[in-house]
């Protein structure tokens, strides 16, 4: 619906590609499911390859953000496919499991890879998931937070199960996204994002009528 309103002159609409990365079984798909459908399954099937989802949020009265979300498989060998996900991503959520210290190490290596390889302006958020299992915590909040701030990442501890901080996480990302750039990028030849938008003839008029 937000999409439909975007042609009016008082609303801004922007679309961003978001990729989820992190060790397997840290809760990437569950975070997306909570964000997109506000659901949670104690038992989620492991993700093979990739799943694609979208979610639109209203950032404020006049700004609507659509996330194109690529949820990825966590196993190491799928890493060879990862550049295909993140090359044109505007934002990334790197997830670890607060009850698994090793998963933070993995998250750090993803962050490093993104900072080296992905779009220069990519917004990266670090999410320590499974906050509902606080009793089994292995990663201290302060340590992860310190790492995140020195690496320039957004940081949240989340629980896909309880929903805690999930919307907050995605909203914070949305707020950080360069709206002007994104909008203008939609009109002009987009840089990387454009694998998602090859054909700009028709949509340019109807879908990307941002007014900035």
Partner 1 sequence: MQQQFFLERNHPTFQPGSFASVNRPLLPHTASAVSISHFINNGNSNGSANARDMYGFRKQSQYITASEYDKWFASYEKYMHRRRRKWEALIRDSGIEFGEDGVPLAFPRKSKLVKRYVRKGIPVDWRGAAWFWYAKGPEYLKKNPGLYERLWTRGMSSPPVDSELIERDLHRTFPDNIHFRNTDQPPVNSGSPATTPGSTKSSGSNSRRNSAAPETRIVQSLRRVLYAFSLYVPKTGYCQSLNFLAGLLLLFMEEEKAFWMLVIITQKYLPGVHEINLEGANIDQGVLMMCVRESLPIVWNKIGAGIDGYLRDDMVVRLPPITLCTAAWFMSGFIGVLPIETVVRVWDCFFYEDSKVFFRIALTIFKLSERQIESVRDPMETFQIVQTTPKQLLDASSVIQSCFRRHNGFGHISQEEIDNRRRFVADRRRHVGVMTSSDILADELDSQLPSSSLPGHTSGRQKRFAGIASSGFESRKAAEDRIQMLRMGSMNMLSLNARNDYFSPPSSSRSVSGASSPAV
Q: Which is nearer to partner 1, 70 or 155 (CB)?
A: 70
Q: Long-range contacts: 55-58, Cβ < 8 Å, 24+?
A: 55/170, 56/1, 56/2, 56/3, 57/170, 57/171, 57/174, 58/2
Q: Which stretch binds partner 1 (CB under 8 A): 41-49, 57-65, 140-148, 162-170?
A: 41-49
Q: Is 112 in the site for partner 1 (CB under 8 A)?
A: no
Residue 106: alpha-carbon gap to chain centroid: 17
Draw the binding track, 127-166, toward partner 1 (x: CB under 8 A; -: no contact).
Answer: ---x-xx--x------------------------x-----
Considering the complex, state which of residue 9 and residue 43 has its C-beta at the smaller distance from partner 1. Answer: 43
Nearer to partner 1, 41 or 168 (CB): 41
Q: State the number of binding residues for partner 1 (CB under 8 A).
A: 60
The kind and range of the H/E element at 166 are helix 166-176
Residues 6+ apart with CB under 8 A from 78: 49, 72
User: Do 193 and 185 meet the contact criterion of CB atoms below 8 Å apart?
Assistant: yes
Among 8, 38, 191, 212, binds partner 1 (CB under 8 A): 191
């Amino acid at each position: 619906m937000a999409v439909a309103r975007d042609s009016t002159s008082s609303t801004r609409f922007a679309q961003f590609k978001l990729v989820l990365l992190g060790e397997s079984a840290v809760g990437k798909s569950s975070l997306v499911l909570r964000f997109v459908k506000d659901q949670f399954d104690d038992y989620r099937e492991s993700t093979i390859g990739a799943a694609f989802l979208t979610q639109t949020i209203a950032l404020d009265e006049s700004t609507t953000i659509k996330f194109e979300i690529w949820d990825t498989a966590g196993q190491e060998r799928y890493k060879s496919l990862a550049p295909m996900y993140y090359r044109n991503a505007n934002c990334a959520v790197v997830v670890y499991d607060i009850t698994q210290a090793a998963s933070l190490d993995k998250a750090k290596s993803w962050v490093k890879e993104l900072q080296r390889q992905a779009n220069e302006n990519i917004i990266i958020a670090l999410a320590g998931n499974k906050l509902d299992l606080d009793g089994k915590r292995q990663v201290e909040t302060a340590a992860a937070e310190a790492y995140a701030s020195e690496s320039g990442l957004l940081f949240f501890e989340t629980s896909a199960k309880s929903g805690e901080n999930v919307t907050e996480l995605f909203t914070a990302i949305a707020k950080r996204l360069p709206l002007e750039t994104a909008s203008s990028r939609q009109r002009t030849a987009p840089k990387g994002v454009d694998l998602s938008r090859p054909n700009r003839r028709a949509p340019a008029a109807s879908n990307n009528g941002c007014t900035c």
